[in-house]
Amino acid sequence: MDPKNVKKVGVIGLGKMGADWVANFLEAGFEVVGFDASSEMFERSKKQVAGDLMWLRKARHADDASFDVDACLAKYKIAETEDAFISELQSSQIFLEAIFEDIELKCNMLQNFTPKLPDGIVLWSNTSSLSVLTMAEACGKPGIFVGTHGMNPVHQMPAVEVVRHKKISEEALQFTVDVLKLMGKKPFVATDVSGFWVNKHLMPFMFEAYRALERGEITVADGDWGFKGSLGHPQGVFKLSDFIGMDTMYRVGMAMYLATQDPRLYPPLIVMRMIGRNELGVKTGKGFYEWDGFKIVKERDFSGLQIKDSNKMFAIKE
Ligand SMILES: NC(=O)c1ccc[n+]([C@@H]2O[C@H](COP(=O)([O-])OP(=O)(O)OC[C@H]3O[C@@H](n4cnc5c(N)ncnc54)[C@H](O)[C@@H]3O)[C@@H](O)[C@H]2O)c1
């Protein structure tokens, strides 16, 4: 396992995180082959990857005339069938999964793919909370399975949480850290507990902010400014949530609640309400804010959610 031998990476799941990872791999000079269960994501991921690369060119390669977005994009291939993907994976050195945060789905997918992967490939998972050991065991090759929790948006955030589980080989862990550093990332090693280091602390914090909004203690924009202007967070909880997606917030919160039984992690009612109305955030144009692409149009007013009079709530009609 030599990080310098990495030439090609396979990515399964081309949603928000998968596509951001693709851009980072291309930026590092790797070839990438992507696959998604939904063919809708083929074109959408290409658009997102192109946008990410343009951001990277401006932010990190402004003085580097050799960095060419089109040349990077030419190295990105989409496999339109599972067979085509498996065939491309034979010449890949890393397989990254970024499918939905669902342990059964991830384990089934890994059981299907791992026996068809070439020797020497290292498996990465972008899970944000699930047991990496469970996935490692499900794939049948626990030593080479590594949690690599990239933060949203992956191409912009330097940290990657590299999750050490009980059956990981030191070689695979070191290889992963080295490849990430080669890509310009700043990885750190975390323990395989529910939510690892970042989400273990971030999820209760975010859900507490949602509950405060439900209680009418704060508005969306003031809540975000409070964290940004006081604590230096790059964006507040509500804007971040709109980028993450309310469906993902639900999946991550529920998985962590089921793993820990910590009531703070049970998704607040507002999460279910918003999912029920397809208010998932940026991806559906409406979340805590209204969006035009990646631009905020306006904050939304959630004051209607509050129960303002407990007497009325319990009043029995005569
Ligand atoms: N969104 C975030 O902010 C964030 C941050 C860190 C980590 N993560 C983690 O990254 C992973 C992906 O999250 P996301 O936000 O990109 O989700 P997403 O919903 O944007 O994308 C997931 C993609 O996986 C595809 N998919 C689902 N099942 C599949 C299968 N069996 N085979 C192939 N493709 C399949 C879906 O079609 C979809 O395009 C999750 O594990 C999530 O917890 C998300």
Torsion angle of the four alpha carbons 77, 78, 83, 86, in this order, in degrees rounded to the nearest 10: 50
CA of residue 166 to ligand 1 center, whole Å: 25
CB 56 within 8 A of CB 68: no
Atom nearest to 199 CA in ligand 1? 6
Which CATH number do you get for residue 16? 3.40.50.720
Tell me the pLDDT tens digit for each residue of 252-263.
999 999 999 999
CA of residue 168 to ligand 1 center, whole Å: 23
Residues 146 and 180 reside in one and the same domain = yes
| Burial environment of residue 266 by CB neighbours within 10 A (0 to 12, 13 to 18, 19 or more) | middle
What domain range includes position 124? 3-191
Q: How far is CA 187 from CA 41, 143, 180, 241, in A?
A: 28, 19, 7, 23
Residues 42 and 106 reside in one and the same domain = yes
Counted domains in the chain = 2
Which CATH number do you get for residue 208? 1.10.1040.10
CA of residue 12 to ligand 1 center, whole Å: 9
- Rg over alpha carbons for the chain, rounded to the nearest Å, is 21
In-domain check, residue 238: yes
Atom nearest to 243 CA in ligand 1? 3
Residues 170 and 264 reside in one and the same domain = no
CA of residue 16 to ligand 1 center, whole Å: 7
Question: What number of helices (H) and strands (E) belong to the chain?
Answer: 13, 10
Decide which of 173, 191, 209 is a domain's last residue: 191
Residues 181 and 202 reside in one and the same domain = no
Atom nearest to 14 CA in ligand 1? 39
Instruction: Give ligand 1 pocket residues (Cβ under 6 A).
Output: 12-18, 36-38, 41, 98-101, 105, 109, 126-128, 149, 152, 244-245, 248, 252
Interatomic CA distance for residues 200 and 204, integer angstroms: 7
Residues 86 and 226 reside in one and the same domain = no
Atom nearest to 150 CA in ligand 1? 6
One digit per residue, pLDDT tens: the chain, 318 residues?
A: 899 999 999 999 999 999 999 999 999 999 999 999 999 999 999 999 999 999 999 999 999 989 999 999 999 999 999 999 999 999 999 999 999 999 999 999 999 999 999 999 999 999 999 999 999 999 999 999 999 999 999 999 999 999 999 999 999 999 999 999 999 999 999 999 999 999 999 999 999 999 999 999 999 999 999 999 999 998 999 999 999 999 999 999 999 999 999 999 999 999 999 999 999 999 999 999 999 998 999 999 998 877 667 666 665 554
Residues 267 and 118 reside in one and the same domain = no
Residues 84 and 38 reside in one and the same domain = yes
Interatomic CA distance for residues 147 and 128, integer angstroms: 9
Choosing from 149, 155, 165, 233, the catalytic residue is 149
Is 233 designated active site? Answer: no
Give the residue whose CA is nearest to atom 27 of ligand 1.
99
* Cis omega (within 30 of 0) for bond into 142: no
Say which residues have a Cβ less than 8 Å from residue 64's Cβ, sequence separation at least 6. none
Q: Quote the pTM value.
A: 0.91
% of the chain exceeding 70 in pLDDT: 96
Q: How far is CA 35 from CA 10, 126, 206, 306, 315, in A?
A: 8, 15, 31, 43, 55
Tell me the pLDDT tens digit for each residue of 110-122.
999 999 999 999 9
In-domain check, residue 317: no
Residues 21 and 105 reside in one and the same domain = yes
Residues 208 and 174 reside in one and the same domain = no
Residues 28 and 165 reside in one and the same domain = yes
Tell me the pLDDT tens digit for each residue of 32-44.
999 999 999 999 9
